[in-house]
Chains A and B, each alone.
Chain A
Amino acid sequence: MWLKHMAYHSQNQFFFFFRMLRALFRLPFYATETKEQLYLLGVKSLFLVILTGVFAGMGFSLAFAQELSEFGAKNYLGRIMSISIVRELGPVLTGLMVAARVSAGITAEIGSMKASDQLDAMIAFGIDPMQKIVVPRLIALVIMLPALTVVMDVIAIFGGWAVATLAENVSSSLYWASVRERLTFGNMFIGLLKPFCFSFIIATVSCYKGFTSEGGTKGVGRATTESVVLSSIMILVVNFFLAKIVFQLIKGYL
């Protein structure tokens, strides 16, 4: 019973994903909504991302520096920081923060529109909610999540630098030289491919959960929770497999 329920929803979610992709390349395109979402999803998440970035970067740097100093290898701090942040920490942390903030918002918004018949009203007026509601959010996520990830990366590496130079006596120039050494094409490629994929996960899960929420206000609450949990878990799972697969494919460029 439980398994059947899960299989049913995974399958539908899969179909929803393809419907969403098809809608992406179809008219009408709603520019005003898209701009609004770019602002709401992107700019409004900026502060959260910066805050997370600073502290995560400082925390990482502190832990690594202490560990490395046991081997007398503090000069490698920059390398470790840049590879772990650009490839793992930046994408995952940004993905999770945005998933928590944005997918809850999207699911709640669509769910309450559904509960109050606004979605039906929209269809009755000849508007396709897929084009009007889903596509603008998808586009905003696809653009903003990689952008926010870059911000997160930069901020976290700076946070690491602050700890390294101020608390751990690593020289600034050594830190930066060693950071740059691991900023290879391959690492940056993975670091941007991940948020690109995560944006589709967040958009699919949160919109699907909103559209399928049932049972009024209470149902919207439940759908919102499920949406955050599911998109976070999927981000973590996909994160692992992406790294594994892509690593195999582009090994030569690392």
Chain B
Amino acid sequence: MIEFRNVHFAYDEKEVLRGINLQIDYGETVVIMGPSGSGKSTILRLLLGLECPQKGDVIIDQQDICNLPEKDKREIRKNIGMVFQNGALFDSLSVGENVGYYLFEHTRMTLDEISEKVEKMLGFVGLDSDEIIDSLPEQLSGGMQRRVAIGRALLSTDPKIMLYDEPTTGLDPQSGANILSLIKKLHLERNICSIMVTHQIADALQVGDRFVVIVEGLVVFDGSLDELRESQELDVLNFLAPFRESLHGVTNKRFI
């Protein structure tokens, strides 16, 4: 279980989070939404222990990640797969080396065993052509890079938590749909806890079963799709105003 307890966080003097409270269980798929700069990526960074809150605690499986020695932090991170906002692929390594990064670094598997796993993983994320494995990340399209990043996150030790930071932003609808179905597939096959950050309401509705809206560093909404539609909270209404149509569009589709 993941827990944010009254988390405050600021970069230097800039206050980003001001009292976040969240509890997320395994098996849930949570979508975090909110305007640009509201602190969504920061929440994921705190979860990985890349930053520590100035006040409050970030707790993963009953452990406060910021009060742990490096070694235990590493153990916790092994259970978390992170897909960064722009992929963050290692640009000096080939696609195959990126996907197999964790196995290269932390296991004693032979090169053959690793490349077998890498090929399987690339197949899983839908990139099974032979040239891709040896090409450099920069030679791939944005959508392909994102899928490589998902594959890389998955091929660490079977993660129990997957974090996706805007996995579909800036992609064409086709690649976006591919990635969303990948996220759903993962969730169904492995029953892991997924947290997805996104601007795209339509995408959010496809994937999530719980929605969190963050505005200016505070959780202004936390609940199901129905509750989201009914919400009269001013901040939520403001945030959702431009998306009214897609909100109802998806609802209609569901009933057809």
Complex Cα–Cα for A127 and B85 (A) = 20
Q: Is the CB of B77 within 8 A of A126?
A: yes
Q: Is the CB of B84 within 8 A of A121?
A: yes
Contacts of B74 in A (CB 8 A): 126
Q: Is the CB of B80 within 8 A of A124?
A: yes
Complex Cα–Cα for A123 and B106 (A) = 13
Q: Is the CB of B91 within 8 A of A124?
A: no
Q: How large is the interface on B (under 10, 10 to 19, 20 to 34, 35 or more residues)?
A: 20 to 34
- Asked if A118 is an interface residue, CB under 8 A from chain B, the answer is yes
Contacts of A116 in B (CB 8 A): 86, 88, 91
The interface bits of chain B over 65-107 (1 if a CB of A lies within 8 angstroms of the residue's CB, else 0) are 0000010001001101010111011110000000001100110
- Asked if B45 is an interface residue, CB under 8 A from chain A, the answer is yes
Interface of B is mostly: mixed
Q: Is the CB of A117 within 8 A of B84?
A: yes
Which residues of A124-140 are within 8 A (CB) of B?
Answer: 124-128
Q: Is the CB of A124 within 8 A of B90?
A: no
- Asked if B109 is an interface residue, CB under 8 A from chain A, the answer is no
Q: Is the CB of B77 within 8 A of A120?
A: no
26 contacts between A and B (CB under 8 A): A116-B86, A117-B84, A118-B88, A118-B90, A118-B91, A120-B48, A120-B50, A120-B84, A120-B88, A121-B82, A121-B88, A121-B89, A122-B90, A123-B48, A124-B50, A124-B80, A124-B82, A125-B101, A125-B102, A125-B105, A125-B156, A126-B77, A126-B78, A126-B105, A127-B105, A128-B70
7 nearest A-B pairs in the assembled complex, by CB-CB distance: A117-B88, A121-B88, A126-B74, A117-B84, A124-B82, A118-B88, A124-B48
**Known pairs A121-B89, A126-B77 / 20 extra A-B pairs, C-beta < 8 Å:** A116-B88, A116-B91, A117-B86, A118-B88, A118-B89, A118-B90, A118-B91, A120-B48, A120-B50, A121-B82, A123-B48, A123-B77, A124-B48, A124-B80, A124-B82, A125-B102, A126-B74, A126-B78, A126-B102, A126-B106
